[in-house]
Amino acid sequence: MSNPYDRLSEQKLPSRIAESVRLEGARKQAVETGRTRLVVVAAVFACAFLVLAGRLVHLSSIGEGGSTSLANEGSGGLGLVRAEILDRNGVLLASDLGTASLYADPHRVLDAAEAANQISRVLPDIDRSELFSKLTTSKRFVWVKRHLTPRQQYVVNALGLPGIAFLEEQKRVYPQGNLVAHVVGYTGVDNRGLAGIEKHLDQRLGTAARVGSAQPPLRLSLDVRVQHVLRSQLASAMETYQAKGAVGIILDANDGQIVASVSLPDFDPHRIDQVPEENKFNRASLGVYEMGSTFKIFTVAMALELGTADLTDSYDARKPIRVARFMIRDDHAKERWLSVPEVFIYSSNIGAAKMALDVGAERQQAFLKQIGLLQRVPLEISEVGQPISPNPWRKISTMTVAFGYGIAVSPIQMASAVASLVNGGTRVMPTFVRSRDREHAVGERVVSERTSRAIRQLMRLNVVEGTGTKADVPGYLVGGKTGTAEKVGAQGYDRRALRSSFVGIFPTSAPRYVVLVMLDEPKGTKETFGFATAGWTAAPIVGQVIERASPLLGVQIDGDEKGQTAQHVGISRKGRRLASF
Amino acid sequence: MMKPLYIAAFLVAVTLTYGLYSMKYEVQRLESKLLTLHSQLTSEREATQVLRAEWSYLNRPERLEKLTLRHLDLTPVSVHRMAAVTRLPFRENSAQSELHKVTPAPNRTSSPNGTSPQSASETSWRLPQTTKKVR
């Protein structure tokens, strides 16, 4: 009680208060109490009105906003929207469409038997008794049918049954159908990726609550036009040669982008439950195969790179090699000494085996590992096969791997290893996703420029003069190597069941693309004189594909006339020059 | 003396109340318009999505190929009908009337030191590779 106000009031007021108290007494006391209470009540009301006024200002100036956003989210329905998948030119490969799904609330269904009757009548694929048992459960929500067509939706809606309603859902559609099915993959009924890109990049494709807020589209390295060329040529070849399956890959030799990847037979991603398992199998990336003679590309590159052989060296291919209980012989036996180019173009197993022996098992393994043939390739699809290599790596393994037996790799792996050798010698990592920064990225060096050049010359020579003549397209400088592998049957290798492949590069002077084609068990026809080997079956397909696809790929005809003359390599034997072209 | 002040206060209160209410209704109107626009946007987006899918479906290379073969006189361009610009012939002397004289073009791959079209000055016209290469 020491503040100045108190002191002041004690000095001035006492006389007045004393007077009034003296004048009015106890009644005045009651009036005073009432007055104080009024002041308190007025203050409380004033506060309440101030709060109201403040809230009013707040509401009208800032607003709640909550109701609008809630209303917007409502139109998206239950389904999750995934990002679109496009090809390299922006053609739609996979997209989401809103569809209506039919559900029921059994508590609100009046007559379950009648409802089941009527619905099964308009939707014939629904079993009446099954639907009836669904409608009599104690749940509050049961699916009747997912993803109705607009017509079905109309008919069911017209029945006007209580307790039956629609829910908007998203359904994945693949406008290109079978064409890119193996790469893009497919999703389940809940729009979750189950195969291919859809499965491997499920997180990236994402799940958003409504249309418009989905992730940005994913652009693949595929080109549907080139893919179609490859697929149609392979399909017609499969029919001609009555093959069990076919694989085709077109890969950019410099940055590893896969422009086309076909595995036949394929499937329709919309009817995935009716597709046999065999068709879902991606032969291009999941299947691993003994590639046969195309492996001689690696053997020769290895020998040239490590300096154990020179283009002018030659090998004794007069007699088959006998190792333990195995016999290595040549299919097109020349029974004489063969120079390195001859070993390559006549596809001599004996020569290749001896070449690999000179290199040795350890260096051979290291080399194959360096070009990525002994480990799984990192790809953006979930179906990637693990290569099978000999373990332990014996002397006989060194010899058989030299011509592509005893080791199994996937076709995509094969194509990217060839690309790594011919593009100047830098490692190529295959990819399905288009990215611009890859175009300038240069991989680690695997062979020298000189070796790369020699391999290109040999591949060109093989097309001009060797087993791959049917792959040639005038003006595009095609190079390549055939590979005919016998499949493993019940009793070892089966001479009649072949796997014919051809790996081509073009243009040889500065390779832009690697084309790999493989046919599973082709049968010879009258036109091929009964031969089912790669030179007769797989090589022509590569030629046709290059002829049709190179304008689409932007490879100019006669693009490099000077390169053509530079590709000539001599076949020399024992220092004597035999031929030059 | 307090009267004008009361009147002024009353007028201000009336004006403010009117302003507040009209503002409120304006905001409500705009908000409902926004809502309609949002739902329109969503349905337009969905429609575009459907149309884009349909466009891609109708432009499948397989279908286009079938339609072209059925309705147009077009065939795939074969390699024999293509040539690089550098291989195009030059008109050396237009005064000469031998315009229709055609000299067989050199074989494309088997002549590494083949004469280039420009150097062949004795011919007035030289067609690009129209003849099929004989192997």
| Average pLDDT of the residues of chain A | 83
Residue A49 domain-assigned? no
Q: Which domain covers residue B8, as residue numbers?
A: 3-71
Q: Among partner residues A72, A176, A548, which is closest to B76 by beta-carbon distance?
A: A548
Mean pLDDT of A294-310: 91
Are A314 and A177 in the same domain?
Answer: no
Quickly state the pLDDT bin for B126 (edges 50, 70, 90).
Answer: very low
Cis bond leading into A430, ω under 30°?
no
Residue A131: pLDDT above 90?
no
- pLDDT of amino acid A41: 96
Let me know if residue A419 belongs to a domain.
yes
User: How would you label A27-40 residue by residue, b for 16+ Cβ within 10 Å and e otherwise?
Assistant: eeeeeeeeeeeeee
Do A327 and A184 have their domain in common?
Answer: no
CB contact A564 to B (< 8 Å): yes
Tens of pLDDT along A229-254?
999 999 999 999 999 999 999 999 98
- As a whole number, mean pLDDT of residues B49-55 equals 88
Claim to verify: residue A547 and residue A410 sit in the same structural domain? yes
Question: Is residue B60 domain-resident?
Answer: yes
Residues 208-247 of A with CB under 8 A from B: 210-212, 224-225, 227-229, 232
pTM score of the predicted model: 0.75
Residue A374 scores a pLDDT above 50:
yes
Domain co-membership, B98 together with B56: no
Lowest mean pLDDT among A84-88, A400-404, A473-477, A570-574: A570-574
* CA atoms of A179 and A345, how far apart (whole Å): 35
DSSP category for residue A13? S
Residues A135 and A244 in one domain: no
CB contact under 8 A, A557 and B82: yes
The pLDDT, as a whole number, for residue A336 is 85
Q: How far is CA A143 from the centre of its chain?
A: 32
Q: What's residue B135's pLDDT?
A: 38
Total tally of structural domains belonging to chain B? 2
Question: Nearest chain A Cα to B111, which residue?
Answer: A565
Asked if the structure places residue A19 within a domain, the reply is no
State the pLDDT at residue B113. Answer: 42
Given CB atoms, is A97 within the 8 Å cutoff of chain B? yes
Answer with the residue of higher pLDDT: A82 or A430. Answer: A430
CB neighbour class for A518 (10 Å; exposed up to 12, middle 13-18, buried from 19): buried
CATH number, domain of A151, equals 3.90.1310.10
A98 and chain B in contact, CB less than 8 A = yes
- pLDDT tens digits for A197-219? 888 888 788 765 554 556 788 89
Number of A:B CB contacts under 8 A? 111
Residues A211 and A317 in one domain: no
Same domain, B21 and B51: yes
Instruction: Give the pLDDT band of residue B115 (cuts 50, 70, 90).
Output: very low
| Mean pLDDT (chain B, rounded) | 74
pLDDT at B120 over 60: no
DSSP class of A346: T
Shortest CB distance from A565 goes to which of B46, B112, B129?
B112
The yes-or-no verdict on residue A222 having pLDDT over 60 is yes
Q: Are residues A341 and A434 in the same domain?
A: yes
> Nearest CA to A478 among B56, B108, B125, B123?
B108
CB contact under 8 A, A96 and B57: no
Which residue in the set B35, B41, B135 is minimally distant from A68, CB to CB?
A: B35
One of A293, A410, A420, A550 is an active-site residue; which one? A293
Q: For residue A568, what are its two tokens?
A: 């000539």
Taking contacts as CB-CB distances below 8 angstroms, the residues of chain A near B79 are 473-476, 547, 557
The answer to whether the CB atoms of B62 and A464 lie below 8 A apart is no
Mutate to test the interface with B, among A56, A69, A91 (most CBs of B within 10 A): A91
A362: nearest Cα among A352, A350, A376, A374: A374
Tell me the nearest-neighbour CA distance from A324 into chain B, angstroms. Answer: 45
Residue A295 banded pLDDT, cuts 50, 70, 90: very high
Q: Are residues A531 and A399 in the same domain?
A: yes
Residues B42 and B8 reside in one and the same domain? yes
- Residue type present at position A457: Q
Q: Of the candidates B53, B108, B109, which has its C-beta nearest A95's C-beta? A: B53
At B133, the pLDDT band (50, 70, 90 cuts) reads very low
Task: Say whether A476 and B79 touch across the interface (CB within 8 A).
Answer: yes
Instruction: Let me know whether B63 and B17 are in one domain.
Output: yes
Q: Which of A558, A560, A548 is nearest to A250 (CA)?
A: A548
* Shortest Cα–Cα distance, B4 to chain A (Å): 24
Which tops the pLDDT comparison, A272 or A42?
A: A42
- Are A385 and A285 spatial neighbours (Cβ–Cβ below 8 Å)? yes
Domain-embedded: residue A123: yes
In B, which residues are within 8 Å of A76 by CB distance? 42
Mean pLDDT, to the nearest integer, of B63-77?
Answer: 88
Q: How many CB atoms lie within 10 A of CB A215?
A: 16
Q: Residues A213, A254: one domain? A: no
Would you say residue B76 lies in a domain? no
Taking contacts as CB-CB distances below 8 angstroms, the residues of chain A near B55 are 92
At which residue do the structure tokens 């890109």 appear?
A197
**How confident is residue A418, by pLDDT bands cut at 50, 70 and 90?**
very high
Residue B77 lies in a domain: no
Residues of A in contact with B82 (CB under 8 A): 475, 551, 557
How many domains does the structure of chain A reveal?
Answer: 2
**Same domain flag for B123 and B87:** yes
* Domain-located, residue B78: no
Q: Tell me, what's the pLDDT at A301?
A: 93
Burial class (CB in 10 A: 0-12, 13-18, 19+), B125: middle
| Lookup result for tokens 């090809």 | A87
CB of A56 less than 8 A from some CB of B:
yes
**Structure confidence at residue A80 (pLDDT):** 57
Closest Cα in chain A, distance from residue B96 (Å)? 30
Q: What is the pLDDT of residues A505-557, one digit of tens each?
A: 988 888 999 999 999 988 888 777 878 888 889 999 999 999 999 888 888 88
Same domain, A106 and A159: yes
Mutate to test the interface with A, among B32, B62, B119 (most CBs of A within 10 A): B62
Which SS3 state, helix, strand or coil, does residue A245 take?
strand
**ipTM tops 0.85:** no
What gap in Å lies between CA A304 and CA A442, rounded to an integer?
22
Question: Looking at residue A443, which CATH number applies to its domain?
Answer: 3.40.710.10
Domain span at residue A411 reads 232-267+281-580
- CA–CA distance from A2 to each of A10, A12, A17, A362, A472 (Å)? 11, 16, 21, 102, 114
- Nearest CA-CA partner of A476 in A464, A488, A491, A489: A464
Q: Is A293 a catalytic residue?
A: yes
Short-list A383, A416, A140, CA closest to A285:
A383
Terminal-residue alpha carbon distance, chain A = 121
Q: Is the Cβ pair A551, B77 closer than 8 Å?
A: yes
Residues B8 and B67 occupy one common structural domain = yes
